[in-house]
């Protein structure tokens, strides 16, 4: 009886954590101008993360290569953090290592999405007098 109640408790906890992440990620996607329902479609949601980071869509393929995917997941986490005006430390620790917390902070927080663009061109040299 106790084992069954403990199993039920773990199941309810799992569902609560999953709903927490789904709602937070939905809000993050909407802030970035992407469809919130994209969180439910397995590879499409990863594609949306890559696009929010400002990277090309073909990077999705790199997530299928073992060990390489870890490196690119860190890069995407850092780029998503920068797109929302957060630091690289935030990106590494709260979007890569502790994803649930980082997504919630961005989703429910005041962070504003700024689409990554091409790097700014260097200033033109002053004309010779």
pLDDT tens digits, 39-72: 999 999 999 999 999 999 999 999 999 999 999 9
125: pLDDT strictly greater than 90: no
Confidence of residue 116 (pLDDT cuts 50, 70, 90): confident
Cα separation, 105 vs 36, whole angstroms: 16
State residue 65's pLDDT score.
Answer: 94
pLDDT band at 127 (very low <50, low <70, confident <90, very high): confident
DSSP label of 35: -
State percent of the chain over pLDDT 70: 95
Q: Which two structure tokens, joined as six digits, stand for 126?
A: 């002053």
Residue with tokens 């992407």: 34
**Rounded-to-integer distance, Cα 114 and Cα 36, Å:** 17
Give the pLDDT confidence score for residue 129 in this predicted structure: 64
51 HSE (CA, 13 A, CB side): 14
Instruction: Give the pLDDT score at 121.
Output: 63
Say how far apart CA 31 and CA 54 lie, in whole Å.
15
- pTM equals 0.83
Q: Once rounded to an integer, what is the mean pLDDT over residues 109-119?
A: 85
């Amino acid at each position: 009886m106790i084992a069954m109640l403990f199993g039920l408790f773990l199941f309810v906890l799992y569902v609560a954590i999953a709903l927490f992440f789904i709602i937070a990620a939905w809000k993050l996607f909407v802030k970035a101008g992407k469809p919130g329902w994209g969180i439910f479609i397995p590879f499409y949601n990863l594609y949306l993360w890559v696009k929010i980071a400002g990277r090309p869509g073909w990077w999705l393929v790199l997530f299928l290569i073992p060990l390489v995917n870890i490196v690119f997941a860190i890069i995407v986490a850092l780029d998503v953090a920068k797109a929302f005006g957060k630091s690289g430390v935030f990106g590494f620790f709260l979007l890569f290592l502790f994803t649930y917390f980082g997504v919630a902070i961005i989703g429910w927080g005041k962070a504003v999405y700024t689409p990554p663009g091409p790097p700014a061109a260097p200033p033109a040299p002053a004309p010779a007098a």
